[in-house]
Amino acid sequence: MNLSQGPLVKAAVFKLSTGKVMVLCIHHYVIDGVSWRIILDDFEVGVKQFKEKQEIKLADKTASYIQWAQLLNEYKDSKEFALEREYWNRKIEDVVKYQFEFIDDNNVYNHMENITFSLSKDLTDDLLFKSNQTFNTEINDILLSALVRAFANQFHIQGITVDIEGHGREKLHRNIDIDRTVGWFTDVYPVVLENKSDVEDLIVANKEMLHSVINKGIGYGLMDFCNTDSKISFNYLGSFDKENFGNNKYRTGSTIAPENQLPNDISFDSMVEDGVLKCHIIYNFRKYSTKTILDLSESYQKVLCEIIEYCVNSTDQIRTSSDYNSNLSTSDFNAILAELSI
């Protein structure tokens, strides 16, 4: 595939002794994870209608990608974005940096290795359906609280800057429908996570920080600067059913060129596959030893299990400032609650 000349989409059908197999290749430049679900869902619907000799009729398309790009340009000149600009100008001063085990400026895909751990189905169910009730959290609040605690255990640091990758399909000042639009909408924005010795303080501090990010960070990519030099990235991709996504028994080879430069030295990509949470840790083996990453992986899994257990076993329901769309700090919010309870 050639980025400048195309094509960026190719399809082929192979006739095998076991039947026919279709291969669909699309460059990441024009598609993201949400878009793949849209396309695969359409294929599933179309094939079903074809088999039942029905007219192939798919759901209506939504706004075009170019309309979204135009909206972003419009948003950059809006009063709403001015607030985001102020927010990111403040936050960029909080970036935390730390030293790696080894120094290597050549951060290419060929220098990356992958370690994976999984939770049990029961623990995954607890994470998805029970753990968020105690602190009214979202799954990222739990996963990232565990991540900063694991880094603190492994590297003896009390904070890390992480690039969060999101779906990027946020509601802006002038809303357009992009629910079924295919394209690369992904946004990336930095957050500073803080370790706390107490589990409740750990969860609340990071929940409040994450929930304070305006528009899920979409404005960060519109800033004149958008590089914090963060070495860590995080992406929770959601839930996938292997019957419709990723159930591939054929080897496709690498999907990334070995010489591609990567922005981060260590990435944490998590997803739920058939009811089981899997975390893939992709790291530069010229900056981290395999033993270090194995220890970090073990610590992350252990801390995550402990936090899930803590939340599930708690009988309290603790609400925080962000639950009331308040800009109060945690200490000021707790002081007001204390006064009200007198």
| Nearest partner of 278 among 146, 165, 121, judged by Cα | 121
* pLDDT tens readout for residues 131-185: 999 999 999 999 999 999 999 999 999 899 999 999 999 888 677 899 999 999 9
Q: Is residue 45 part of a domain?
A: no
Burial profile 234-267: b = 16 or more Cβ within 10 angstroms, e = fewer: bbbbeebeeeebeeeeeeeeeeeeeeeeeebbbb
Q: Is residue 69 part of a domain?
A: yes
Gap between the Cα atoms of 43 and 53, Å rounded: 15
Q: Is residue 13 part of a domain?
A: no
Q: Is residue 32 part of a domain?
A: no
> Which structure tokens are listed for 63?
């706004």
* pLDDT tens readout for residues 193-251: 999 999 999 999 999 999 999 989 999 999 877 666 788 999 999 987 655 555 567 77
105 burial (CB, 10 Å; 0-12 / 13-18 / 19+) is exposed
How sure is the predictor about 105, in pLDDT bands with cuts at 50, 70 and 90?
A: low
Range of the domain at 187: 61-341
The answer to whether the predicted template modeling score (pTM) of the entire model surpasses 0.95 is no
Based on the structure, what is the number of domains in the chain? 1
Can you give the CATH number for the domain in which 203 is found? 3.30.559.30
Q: Is residue 48 part of a domain?
A: no
Q: Is residue 149 part of a domain?
A: yes
| Maximum alpha-carbon separation in the chain | 77
Q: Is residue 34 part of a domain?
A: no
| Residue carrying structure tokens 């102020």 | 86
**Contact assessment for residue 75 and residue 221, using Cβ atoms and an 8 Å cutoff:** no
Average the pLDDT over 295-313 and give the result: 97
Cβ neighbours of 327 (radius 10 Å): 9
Q: Is residue 54 part of a domain?
A: no
Burial profile 120-131: b = 16 or more Cβ within 10 angstroms, e = fewer: eeebbbbbbeeb
